[in-house]
């Protein structure tokens, strides 16, 4: 699907923040392991769930969860673990794969895992190597893979600069095993807020994790329990709301409802960063090691301010749905801006406005939404090739954009 976005310098209206994909994955996994009955609100009434969340539902069902999904509400009514022969199709969801690789190994003696798009090229070796030391054997350290042998409790050690999702996956799995376990983070932890988010969900379902400096300890004998009331209403997503907040920074007036100002989500830092980016005629430096998902949106605002911006600490962006340092720079340059890659970030020279033009999505949902955001400061229309990539995290993004007054029309591929 290709979409042409007509420049509109001032959008207005109200949108409801899409439910947090990060919280949604975690709540679904914990609710399934509890056996229910439990309900998880994953999307507003009438709104579809994202492709990534659908992948986690599918995989949990393959592992033995009984889940029904109606109008954005997932209801878990049971869990009968399947001990062998499971096939987990993670779609393009890195979160699904990294969370469920240890969980599946704790439950199944043998299983297969596959994925699509860039997921087979995304890193798994560090996690696989740790699991090999604790009872598992792998046909490959990348998807597709087959895994045999049950995961065992004990000591695990992971670097903190590859993916926090490795740590979260182990924290979900280790309570299912007999014996105490610990996970040592051997280097500074990036995206640390996501591990805090995992610990919060685990606590809600009766699982205690103790953090001792760089070590996470998980005691044996713990059981996932349905929280009081049996209902989880997943909070709004700061990562996707960031695009509308950036539109506001470029002159629009859109109210985004449903965001928790005290959320553990690291990407709520967007409000602070946008205040910094309003300062013109100076060079700013932004370290994104804790908030890498904000880079495409921040880069657009940086390209539209007057002054230079250095984005650093983003080396992990090279293994996202696209190489986001390449794709973000390509998007800005295609629209008439000035951006260049560095080893771990971007250098952007802002000129106050952009020309417009045609951009490739690179199959990346955040590049699509960033290009739409940029249209607010473009002289000519913005055409996005492969705009359907938004379905990965925000299927009704264009619907919300149009509600705020934006023009977005589907055009022929030719």
Residues designated catalytic: 293
Residue partners of 183: CB distance under 8 A and separation at least 6: 156, 157, 158, 167, 170, 171, 174, 215, 216, 218
Using DSSP, state whether 98 is helix, strand or coil. helix
Residue 86, strand partner residues? 111
Using DSSP, state whether 237 is helix, strand or coil. coil
Residue among 276, 284, 273, 242 nearest 394 (CA): 242
Residue partners of 362: CB distance under 8 A and separation at least 6: 321, 322, 323, 326, 327, 330, 386, 389
Using DSSP, state whether 270 is helix, strand or coil. helix
Residue keyed to tokens 């996956």: 169
Using DSSP, state whether 252 is helix, strand or coil. coil
Q: What is the C-alpha to C-alpha distance for residues 369 and 247, in angstroms, rounded to an integer?
A: 10
272 exposed, middle or buried (CB, 10 Å; 0-12, 13-18, 19+)? exposed
Residue among 254, 252, 332 nearest 296 (CA): 332
Q: What is the C-alpha to C-alpha distance for residues 207 and 224, in angstroms, rounded to an integer?
A: 6
The tokens of 105 are what? 């190994």
Q: What is the C-alpha to C-alpha distance for residues 238 and 244, in angstroms, rounded to an integer?
A: 10
The tokens of 305 are what? 């301010």
Using DSSP, state whether 10 is helix, strand or coil. coil
Residue 206, strand partner residues? none
- The secondary element (H helix, E strand) that includes residue 110 is strand 110-114
């Amino acid at each position: 699907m290709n979409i042409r976005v007509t420049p509109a310098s001032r959008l207005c209206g109200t949108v409801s923040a899409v439910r947090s994909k990060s919280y949604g994955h975690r709540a679904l996994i914990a609710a399934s392991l509890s056996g229910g009955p439990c309900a998880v609100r994953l999307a507003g009434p009438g709104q579809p769930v994202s492709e990534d969340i659908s992948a986690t539902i599918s995989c949990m069902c393959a592992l033995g969860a009984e889940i029904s999904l109606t109008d954005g509400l997932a209801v878990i009514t049971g869990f009968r673990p399947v001990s062998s022969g499971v096939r987990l199709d993670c779609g393009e969801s890195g979160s699904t794969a990294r969370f469920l690789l240890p969980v599946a190994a704790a439950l199944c003696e043998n299983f297969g895992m596959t994925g699509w798009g860039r997921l087979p090229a995304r890193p798994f070796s560090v996690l696989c190597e740790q699991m090999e030391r604790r009872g598992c054997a792998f046909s490959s350290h990348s998807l597709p893979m087959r895994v045999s042998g049950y995961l065992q409790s004990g000591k695990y050690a992971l670097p903190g600069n590859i993916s926090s999702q490795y740590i979260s996956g182990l924290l979900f799995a280790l309570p299912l095993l007999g014996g105490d376990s610990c996970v040592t983070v051997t280097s500074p932890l990036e995206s640390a807020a996501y591990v805090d988010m995992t610990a919060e969900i685990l606590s809600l379902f009766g699982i205690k994790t103790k953090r001792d400096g760089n070590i996470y300890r998980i005691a044996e004998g713990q059981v996932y329990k349905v929280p009081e009331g049996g209902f989880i209403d997943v909070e709004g997503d700061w990562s996707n709301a960031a695009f509308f907040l950036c539109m506001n920074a470029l002159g629009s007036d859109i109210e985004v409802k449903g965001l928790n100002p005290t959320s553990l989500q690291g990407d709520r830092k967007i409000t602070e960063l946008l205040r910094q980016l309003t300062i013109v005629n100076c060079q700013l430096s932004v370290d994104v090691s804790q908030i890498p998902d904000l880079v495409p949106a921040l880069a657009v605002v940086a390209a539209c301010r007057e002054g230079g911006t250095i984005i650093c600490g983003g080396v992990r962006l090279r293994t996202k749905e696209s190489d986001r340092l390449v794709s973000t720079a390509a998007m800005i340059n295609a629209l008439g801006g000035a951006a260049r890659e560095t080893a771990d970030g971007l250098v952007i020279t802002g000129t106050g406005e952009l020309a417009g033009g045609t951009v490739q999505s690179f199959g990346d949902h955040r590049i699509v939404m960033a290009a739409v955001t940029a249209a607010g400061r473009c002289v000519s229309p913005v055409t996005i090739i492969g705009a359907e990539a938004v379905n990965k995290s925000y299927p009704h993004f264009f619907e919300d954009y149009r509600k705020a007054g934006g023009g977005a029309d589907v055009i022929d591929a030719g």
